[in-house]
Amino acid sequence: MGPSLSTDARKWSLFDLEVPGPGRIEYPLHAAVWDPAPSGPLTMDIHQGMEIGIVLRGSIERHFEDFVHLAKPGDLHLCSAWEPHGWRVRRDNSSQVVLIFLAEVIEAKPFREIPWLSFFTLPPTQRPRTNSPEMRKDIVSIGWRIHREVRGQPRAWPTAVRLYLHDLLLTIYRHWTPADRSALGAPVPASRFSRVMPAVTMVYGDPARHFSAEEAAAACGLHRSRFNTIFQQTMGVAFQDFRRRARLASVAHLLLTTDLPTDTIAEATGFSDGSHLHRTFVQYYGCTPGRYRATHRHGT
């Protein structure tokens, strides 16, 4: 996949385990600080963990396929596991903190009563936003505490960051009111992520291949109906949509990092031809591949 977690405009602080390779994390939690971050072109990102970030200064643009959100101080962004997304700093000297974590980090007993996974698996336009001065104040306060821990790394700072992540999710649950509360659903055990990871790994190992739901279910040792239910609950999309999203993420990465023509990219990513790629890309990203390349490659 694309260049993941690869910019000089930040300080990465990793703990618990070493990074095994681009795009995959097998340690429980990443903590990162961009401070300061210069403005620039769009950077695509994708990784195994869920992501939550807070803008502390300036403004940072977040991209989720055809949805773009300009985040300012106190604003949140949330990404689901293995969800392609992009970011671009819109104002020089912007600052933010970002946490990327595996679901198991939030397996503490009190959180089993809160449908926190839904914060990440809702469609991007429906995910939690900072929606009141009180919530913004609390979010910014937590963000600066995480910033101090990552920068200073005092004794037991990884434990402090874990606690602040829990505090952040609790703050969201208390302050944020979704347009449709029923969309949150019942709490889903984080352990279910491991049940569908074989299918996720299979897709990202060969995003050009058209895996069927039956193949994916078999890889997970589940019946198709059970697999479809668990996959939807934990990944936020149906398996076939997830597979299509993975292929389009490969397309977006190649558009930003190579000069390959659309027909060549289509062949490399499993589309029948350039026209098929063009139609699907417009449907999901809201613009043509050529427009996407011209706009985001140069930061315009």
Nearest to 31 by CA among 19, 44, 46: 19
Task: Give the separation between CA 109 and CA 166, rounded to whole angstroms.
Answer: 12
Q: What share of the chain is helix, strand, coil (3-state, %, to 5)?
A: 45, 20, 35
Beta-strand (E) ranges in the chain?
11-14, 29-37, 43-45, 50-57, 60-64, 67-71, 76-79, 85-89, 94-101
Task: Give the separation between CA 214 and CA 220, rounded to whole angstroms.
Answer: 10
- Sequence-distant (6+) residues with CB within 8 A of 87 are 42, 43, 45, 60, 61, 62, 63
Peptide bond into 36 cis (omega under 30): yes
Q: Look up the pTM and report it.
A: 0.79
Domains of the chain (ranges, CATH numbers): 11-184 (2.60.120.280), 190-296 (1.10.10.60)
Nearest to 87 by CA among 66, 67, 62, 65: 62
Angle, CA 281 vertex, CA 290 and CA 1 arms, to 5°? 90
31 within 8 A of 145, measured Cβ to Cβ:
no
As a whole number of Å, the end-to-end CA separation of the chain is: 24
* Per-residue confidence in pLDDT tens, the chain, 300 aa: 332 333 333 333 333 323 333 334 345 788 888 876 677 778 888 888 899 999 999 999 998 888 899 999 999 999 998 888 888 888 888 899 999 988 888 866 667 778 888 899 888 999 999 999 999 999 999 999 999 998 888 998 888 999 999 999 999 999 998 877 766 767 777 778 888 989 988 898 888 888 999 999 999 999 999 999 999 988 888 999 999 988 998 898 899 889 999 999 999 999 989 999 999 999 888 889 999 888 877 655
Handedness of CA 242, 183, 46, 288 (dihedral sign): positive
pLDDT of residue 262: 93
CA 260 to chain centre: 26
Task: Give the separation between CA 2 and CA 249, rounded to whole angstroms.
Answer: 8
